[in-house]
Amino acid sequence: MRNDTILILADPAEPQLRQLEKSLAGVNIIAGNSAEVLAPAAAHATVLFNWSGSLVLFRKIFGNCPNLRWVHSRSVGLERTLFPELLESPVPLTNGTGVFSASLGEFVLAAILYFAKDFRRLIRNQQAGVWEDFEVMPVSGHTVGIIGYGDIGRAVAARVRPLGMTVLAVKRHTLPLGGTDPMVEQTYSPDRRLQMLSRCDYVVVAAPLTSETRGMIGEPEFRAMKPTAVVINVGRGPVIKEEALVRALSSGRIKGAALDVFDQEPLPRDHHFYKLDNVLLSPHCADHTPDWLDQAMEFFIAQFERFRKDEPLLNVVDKKLGY
């Protein structure tokens, strides 16, 4: 078995590092969040794991590792990871796809029910001591459209289909009507997304941020939506044109939005989203279950076992596509 060296960009005090050292006893593991700590071992590193390091540090250390055979990113989103040197390198890159999808699927389901049952109104009335009955909407028979039908999109579909909801999806590679995915009624290519959006009661954005998806949902897309539509973003903030979303929400062009990701994070205190009562905000923590970091480390440990046995790695990123 090879004598591998893992460089991990992380605060050495992170508790998950104890989990790593225990599981991979005997493997040379060097953790740090500065070039001074990591650089001396870079020449011998075969694995580079960006747990929580900055892009600047990641890029610098990568450039000092001539013997790398694998790079892993804890994050699923790679828009701040794919710097030119890594893009051009033959070294495979993997990410955390799938680790957090179940929790994000649950957040989407919660957001759908939040708007359908008008939980904001219930809470407001309860706090004011007001007894006021009102109509609520069913979700059965309504349609969920998913922009970016990857692992998160499938987690969403698996949770809304049992409620009797119809699922539509936008993805690069479409399936014929009644295709092989039993959860999706119909898939659309990205250039036909307006057609799909016009059918949707809930629009779930789960696409990665790439040159093709940046600003994918803007004024034309909001005009195509029903006035009763709710937008739920669990992908990346800039996939939606934020100013267009604010206008659509403020004018009543759409019913509401549930957002876990934003153009700027933390969201500035004076942002319009805070003032809109048809917005549900999550501070990019919809997947932060008590064990989310443990799960992320467990996934890396399982990946490393595949790596040192020369088995195919999971979640190999197409660096040209960005996911």
* Tens-place pLDDT, residues 148-188: 999 999 999 999 999 999 999 999 876 555 557 899 999 99
Contact indicator for 190, 205 with CB cutoff of 8 Å: no
The residue segments making up the domain with residue 236 are 101-281
CB atoms within 10 A of CB 226: 16
Specify if 315 maps to a domain. Answer: no
In terms of Cα–Cα distance, which of 126, 162, 160 is closest to 143? Answer: 160
If asked whether residues 175 and 242 sit together in one domain, one would say: yes
If asked whether residues 84 and 132 sit together in one domain, one would say: no
If asked whether residues 92 and 174 sit together in one domain, one would say: no
Tokens 């690069």 found at: 172
What's residue 80's pLDDT? 76
- Please report which confidence band the pLDDT of residue 297 belongs to, taking 50, 70 and 90 as the band edges: very high
**What is the set of active-site residues?**
236, 265, 284
Domain CATH code at residue 207: 3.40.50.720
* Tens-place pLDDT, residues 191-236: 999 999 999 999 999 999 999 999 999 999 999 999 999 999 999 9
If asked whether residues 115 and 237 sit together in one domain, one would say: yes
If asked whether residues 247 and 144 sit together in one domain, one would say: yes
If asked whether residues 255 and 170 sit together in one domain, one would say: yes
Q: What value does the mean pLDDT of the chain take?
A: 95
What's residue 177's pLDDT? 55
Contact indicator for 252, 245 with CB cutoff of 8 Å: no
Q: Is 311 left (phi over 0), alpha (psi -120 to 50) or beta?
A: beta
Specify if 95 maps to a domain. Answer: yes
If asked whether residues 90 and 183 sit together in one domain, one would say: no
What's residue 174's pLDDT? 67
* Tens-place pLDDT, residues 51-99: 999 999 999 999 999 999 999 999 998 887 889 999 999 999 999 999 9
In the chain, how many domains are there? 2
If asked whether residues 206 and 115 sit together in one domain, one would say: yes
